[in-house]
Structure 1
Amino acid sequence: MTSLIPRIPGIDFDGFGKQLGYLEVEHSDNENDAAVIPSPIAVIRGGRGPTVLLTAGTHGDEYEGQVLLQELIRSLGPDDLDGRLIILPALNISAVREGRRVSEVDGVNLNRALPGRKDGGPAQQIASIVAEDLIPMADYVIDIHSGGSASEYVPSAFVYLGPTEELWAEKISAVEAFNVPYSVVVKPMLKAGSISSAADRAGVPMISAELGGCGTVSLPILARARKGLRSLLAHWGVLRNGSRTPREPVRWVELGAGSAVRSTMAGLMEPLVELGQSVSAGDVVARVHSVEELDRPAKDFHAPLGGVVAVVRHPALVNVGTTLVNIAVDHGTTPPKGDHATS
């Protein structure tokens, strides 16, 4: 890998110090002929240790990660590091500018677009840079999300099982170092076009994160994740003076094919459970009220399995097919294991 990447001009990835620049994402529309959409990037290097790729703003309405990575860029310098940080705090810059999950520029979900296309639209180009240029340089990756405007998650690391025993062990240790209250586990390669799947295919240890949601910033979650991020960077050997505060047990929960409770009625959702609440199979977890049909009874929706309420929808207005809540199997403080991790 050359130290200079044409699609990231002005950044010498082998250079020491702090460099700030942009991905050059080409886009031509009715207002701009061959314009460039600049997605910001910071590269900070203070030694020849490991490289960590950090991304946020993959979805534009998810804010905790954007705040955390902006803080990291401003607060860290080369003297703080034994390796290299590659930080993209507003990865899908068009969606970030709009405050939307996906941008109206192309309507593409960046976290479903990898490996992307060099000659594609803006999100496809960003996906290509991440998959082809940045992940191959990284020893570790973290992509920070939240529930966005549509939902709220328990504050959690979010990890794909496997795909090998070695990578799964690396992920478990990273989750424990990040040390937010929950770890949400999903099946291997859950979404083929995600950053997590791209890292798994490249054999690079990666965790994601889901830090609240509701289209806002939670101060308690932000404070916990701020400590956790520095702890994780110290664990990965790139931050020299990481936090040594005592770790709290992480609660491991697993989302699967039967976790989602989806509405079969359009109307207004009344949530009947709280995030993190334990439920039994059959418990009523949400109720939908018709908007126009005043004589139509409200409809109750039930937990398909016992576990923990891991995700709750935020906007009250729902349609047929809208996910109301997600119930996760509770593994307590023991990470799941088994034939999902195969070498």
Structure 2
Amino acid sequence: MSAGTAPTRPLEAICANFTGIDFSATGKQLGYGHVVHSDNVYDGSVIPVPLAVISSGPGPVALLVAGTHGDEYEGQVLAHELIRELDPERLSGTVIVVPAANSPAVRGAARVSPIDGGNLNRSYPGNADGGPTEQVAALIAGDLLPRADFVIDMHSGGSNSTYLPSAFIYRGPDEELWGAKLRAVRLLGLPYVMVVAPLLEPGSLSSAGDLAGVLTISTELSGSGTVDRHALATMRSGMPRLLADLGILRDEARAPAPAEPQWLELVPESAVTSTAAGLFEPLVDLGESVRAGQPVARVHFIDELDRAPRSYHAPIDGVVAIMRRSTRVDPGAHLMHIAAPLDPDSL
């Protein structure tokens, strides 16, 4: 999708599910979505979902979402920066920014909501009459996604893992949108692109976007429960380039064209999974190329002092794309994922 080709959709006016937002107005608006939940803390109040709408009027619409998981921070930092820095006079359309989508999880520095245990990225399309996390999914899928021509859901590895800094895309849903995804992730400029199966997680925002026929990509921006400044710097450079290409950001001085990313694919055989409880010792590094059968990890038994650690081997040839960061593991924990290289000419 190149500049000026994104369709324009009329923005409906005031939505009862939001305070401080008139989607038909121009300028910069700061408000929040309503989540209603009755317990000892929230009875008689709403749980706010912060929202910014920056608009010059009719034109293409981008929906930028961060804080789907509360302990994933690079996207949240970028979202707050964009809210402060985007000028409606420099736009030819609208940018909707949700910087803390699962706001209870963000405030609790947790992957899932501390109120209902809900994982927002497994909750789409949501339920307006459900629990807090289902309500957030319904707000985004029901009120925001239908307005959008482009969606980016910004993730990181969170507290439990680190990813190669990558764009993350589901295959499909059709030839046109797949081609638009490939163009978008190249423009974003992250050093890796991870490709996964169509509709990999049925309850994710990526799946919701694909089912709605809206150009939707995601990211995995490092992780470890902190902010990777290099991944953040790449996003700071790539996001304006992408918004300009979508026809939303005007008069943007283009950053140099990014290098071709390294293309990887997560397949069912990618995971290296522990079958023991103990202490995880990696034998390889994130980003390292490995061969099938190569030793990549060990798990040391805590109480069996004379027992040798259990060894784990790479299931396929590829690149260590995801690394677990919690050393204490139980059976079923993924220690790492090995992603298979992809030839970009085959995409």
**Interval of TM-score (by shorter of Structure 1 and Structure 2):** over 0.9
Distance 1:110 1:49, change over 3 A: same
Question: Could you tell me which amino acid in structure 1 is paired with residue 235 of structure 2?
Answer: A
1:76 aligns with 2:90: no
| 1:233 and 1:242 in contact (8 A); partners too | no
Cα deviation code 1:93-127 (max 9, x no counterpart):
00000000002201010000001000111110010
TM-fit CA distance, 1:303: 0.7
Q: Which runs of 4+ in 1 moved over 4 A?
A: none
Match of 2:20 in 1: 10
More displaced stretch, 151-160 vs 275-284: 275-284
Distance 1:63 1:311, change over 3 A: same
Alpha-carbon distance in 2 for matches of 1:2, 1:17: 15
TM-fit CA distance, 1:48: 2.2
After superposition, residues 291-330 of structure 1 pair within 5 angstroms as 291-330=302-341
Please report the RMSD computed on the Cα atoms of aligned residues, expressed in angstroms.
1.1
The answer for unaligned runs of 5 or more in structure 1 is 338-343
1:279 aligns with 2:293: no
Match of 1:99 in 2: 109
Question: Could you tell me which amino acid in structure 2 is paired with residue 328 of structure 1?
Answer: A
1:224 aligns with 2:252: no
Alpha-carbon distance in 2 for matches of 1:242, 1:37: 39
Match of 2:161 in 1: 151
| 1:252 and 1:335 in contact (8 A); partners too | no
| 1:131 and 1:198 in contact (8 A); partners too | yes
1:87 aligns with 2:97: yes
Distance 1:247 1:210, change over 3 A: same
Match of 2:5 in 1: none
Distance 1:87 1:196, change over 3 A: same
Alpha-carbon distance in 1 for matches of 2:121, 2:142: 15
Distance 1:90 1:32, change over 3 A: closer
| 1:234 and 1:242 in contact (8 A); partners too | no
1:254 aligns with 2:265: yes
- Which of residues 159, 166, 170 in structure 2 aligns to 1:160? 170
Question: Could you tell me which amino acid in structure 2 is paired with residue 143 of structure 1?
Answer: D
TM-fit CA distance, 1:232: 1.3
Please state whether the residue corresponding to 2:101 is helix, strand or coil: coil
Please state whether the residue corresponding to 2:20 is helix, strand or coil: strand
| 2:24 and 2:57 in contact (8 A); partners too | no
Question: Could you tell me which amino acid in structure 2 is paired with residue 110 of structure 1?
Answer: L
Cα deviation code 1:196-240 (max 9, x no counterpart):
000000100111000000000011111111111111111211111
Paired residues, number: 336
Match of 1:51 in 2: 61
Question: Could you tell me which amino acid in structure 2 is paired with residue 297 of structure 1?
Answer: A
Alpha-carbon distance in 1 for matches of 2:178, 2:327: 37
Match of 1:139 in 2: 149
Match of 2:225 in 1: 215
| 1:158 and 1:210 in contact (8 A); partners too | yes
Question: Could you tell me which amino acid in structure 2 is paired with residue 296 of structure 1?
Answer: R
